[in-house]
Structure 1
Amino acid sequence: MNNPLKLDEIDRRILRELRRDGRISNAKLAERVGLSATPCWNRVKALEDAGVISGYAALLNQKALGLPDTVLIEVTLDRHDDEMFNRFGEALAQLPEVLEAHLLTGEYDYLIKVAVAGTEGYEEFLRHKLYKLPGLRHSHSTFVLRTLKREPSVEP
Structure 2
Amino acid sequence: MRVSSPHANRSLDDFDRAILRIIQSDNKTPQRRIADAVNLSAAAVQRRIAAMEAAGVIEANVAVIAPEALSLAITAIVEVHLLDERAATVDAAKALFAAEPTVQQAYYATGGVSFVLIIVCRDMREYEALTRRLFSESDLVDHFRTLIALDRVKAGSALVIS
Q: Tell me what 1:141 maps to.
A: 146
Q: Extract structure 1 runs of 4+ deviating beyond 3 A.
A: none
Of 2, 7, 25, the residue aligned with 2:13 is: 7
Q: Tell me what 1:121 maps to.
A: 126
TM-score (norm 2): 0.84
- Aligned-residue Cα RMSD (Å) equals 1.9
Matched, 1:59 2:64: yes
**Amino acid across the alignment from 1:30:** A
Q: Tell me what 2:33 maps to.
A: 28
Shift in Å, 1:21 = 1.2
Shift in Å, 1:115 = 0.2
Shift in Å, 1:62 = 1.9
Instruction: Determine if contact 2:135/2:144 at 8 Å carries over to the other structure.
Output: no
Instruction: Determine if contact 2:79/2:145 at 8 Å carries over to the other structure.
Output: yes
Instruction: Determine if contact 2:78/2:146 at 8 Å carries over to the other structure.
Output: yes
CA distance change for structure 1 residues 78 and 25 in 2, over 3 Å: closer, same or farther? Answer: same
SS of the residue aligned with 2:143?
Answer: strand
TM-score (norm 1): 0.86
**Amino acid across the alignment from 1:4:** R
Matched, 1:92 2:89: no
**Amino acid across the alignment from 1:144:** A
Structure 2 unaligned spans of 5+: 1-6
Q: Which segment is superposed worse, 95-104 or 125-134?
A: 125-134
Q: How does 1:100-119 map to 2 (within 5 A)?
A: 100-119=105-124
Structure 1 unaligned spans of 5+: none
User: Which deviations, in whole Å up to 9, do the C-alpha atoms of 1:121-153 show, x marking residues without a partner?
Assistant: 222221244323331111111001122222223
Shift in Å, 1:2 = 5.0
CA distance in 1, matches of 2:124, 2:79: 17
SS of the residue aligned with 2:130?
Answer: helix
CA distance in 2, matches of 1:43, 1:57: 19
SS of the residue aligned with 2:81?
Answer: strand
CA distance in 1, matches of 2:124, 2:155: 23
User: Which deviations, in whole Å up to 9, do the C-alpha atoms of 1:11-37 show, x marking residues without a partner?
Assistant: 222111101111222223223333221
CA distance in 1, matches of 2:97, 2:45: 39
CA distance in 1, matches of 2:101, 2:47: 36
Percent identity of equivalent pairs: 26
Matched, 1:131 2:132: no
